[in-house]
Amino acid sequence: MQSKTDSSLRLTRRAFGAGLAAGTGFLAFALPVRALTVEQSRDLINRAIGEVNATINSGKSENAMFGDFERIFATYADVPTIARSALGPASKSASAGQMAAFTKAYQGYLSRKYGRRFREFIGGKIEVTDAKPYKSYYEVISTATLQGQAPFDLRWWVGDKSGKNLFFNIIIEGVNMLASERTEIGAILDKNGGNIDKLIGVLNAT
């Protein structure tokens, strides 16, 4: 015959095991889980910057450089996340087709826009100087040195929420790309009566 003591012991062990499992589950949610590492983040931006430096000092024509910048952007940036952020609230009402067309148009637009900025670096260079955890992602810090100008700060935010290690924001001399792009795209959208198709046309022509 089973004693009450044996039964109680088993129940106590079961309760302890359940409590441990529950506690472990809680910790899984409570503690940040970083699949991406600071070294991987730094390596990603080092590779991206290496390609940017090679492009700006290649001697290619402006249009050829823009093509290279778009390829670099598509390779190392989380373009869908950046595009959705730039479109803001309008992204919720956009159809899947519109969102795909906007993302493609925005990728080219942003590559040309920042490509023109990077062209200012001809004869100069960008170097990674540090990387550190920042909120739920990583911030990779770099310094841009232009001929005849004081060096300035470029910070890259790197995450892996898309399933890949990609950057999703750049802070240029303290200016947040995501925030400034959201304001600019919002203004273009307002100017075109909130029509996303017209916005896409403007981006493709810019």
Decide: residue 198, CB within 10 A, 0-12 exposed, 13-18 middle, 19+ buried.
middle
Residues 139-173: pLDDT tens digits? 999 998 887 788 889 999 999 988 899 999 999 88
User: What pTM does this model have?
Assistant: 0.77
The number of beta carbons lying within 10 Å of the beta carbon of residue 194 is 12
Q: Name the DSSP letter for residue 91.
A: G
Q: Report the mean per-residue pLDDT for the chain.
A: 83
Copy the structure tokens of residue 36.
């991406």
CA gap 74, 69 in Å, rounded? 9
pLDDT at 12 over 70: no
pLDDT at 53 over 90: no
Q: Report the percentage of the chain scoring pLDDT > 90.
A: 59
Q: Which residue has the higher pLDDT, 135 or 75?
A: 75
Q: Where does 38-205 sit in CATH, by number?
A: 3.10.450.710
Query: Mean pLDDT throughout 115-123?
Result: 77
Residue 114's pLDDT is what? 84
pLDDT at 178 over 60: yes
